Structure 1
């Protein structure tokens, strides 16, 4: 499993006619799933995202800053994988983030749906995490 996290001022996920999701200050996370990914991979990366200190001179987490999270499935980060397994892992990652951040805003783009993402980066700040 590979994820790319970008700090943003805002992000909008939309189709030609509809807005699917919007977040304010927070993280956009592009998620790539591999054939051998397990629940342990998902749990590790969810815990890492929620616990990494990337705010206020690397002293605060996304939870401590009460920032939003937007998940986007990124097929190009993935190995060749059965769609149903990729979707299962993606949905499980979303669930682990929402479980670990119950008072926060965790949103997602539709799995493998074609849409546009408008991102206003903050920083720029991008990190890549693998498991």
Structure 2
């Protein structure tokens, strides 16, 4: 699994002109799933994300987690995180998981993250044409890949 985590002041997802989900201060998480991903990848990512210390403490040092900030999260499926761009200029998506794999893992990720944060997590809609708006805070953007845990 790959994620791009953006610390935001606020973020939202609109689908076909209708607001689908919105959050205040917290994380916008773009989530990509590949064929080899499993529930173990979900568990590892959730643990890393809720423990990630990128919010400023009283001294202006990034030393606080989303939990300590009582922040929110919005998770958007993003198969394009698995783009292959080695040949030519048109990316291919052959490494991205099929719907049969990615939808259950996306839903499991959202559920486990919500459980870990003790609050609902905002979502996009899998496969929809989404318009994502955000106000990146910092900017702080972190990329993680469960295949690079070390």
TM band (smaller chain): over 0.9
Larger radius of gyration: 2
Of 92, 100, 103, which residue of structure 1 is paired with 2:116?
A: 100
Q: Please state if 1:110 is matched with 2:114.
A: no
Alignment of 1:1-131 (within 5 A): 1-56=1-56, 57-78=61-82, 79-102=95-118, 104-131=119-146
Give the match for residue 86 of structure 2. Answer: none
Cα distance in structure 1, aligned partners of 2:111 and 2:69: 20
TM-score by length of 2: 0.83
Unaligned runs of 5+ in 2: 83-94
Give TM-score scaled by structure 1 length: 0.94
Asked whether the 8 Å contact 1:9–1:121 carries over to 2, the reply is: yes
Could you give the per-residue CA deviations for residues 43-96 of structure 1, whole angstroms, max 9, x where no partner exists? 000010001111112221001100110000001013232212101111111011
TM-superposition CA deviations, 1:6-38 (whole Å, max 9, x none): 011111110232100111111000000010001
1:67–1:105 Cα contact (<8 Å) kept: no
**How far apart in 2 are the matches of 1:10 and 1:50?**
18
2: distance between equivalents of 1:81 and 1:65? Answer: 33
Alpha-carbon RMSD across the aligned residues, in angstroms, is 1.1
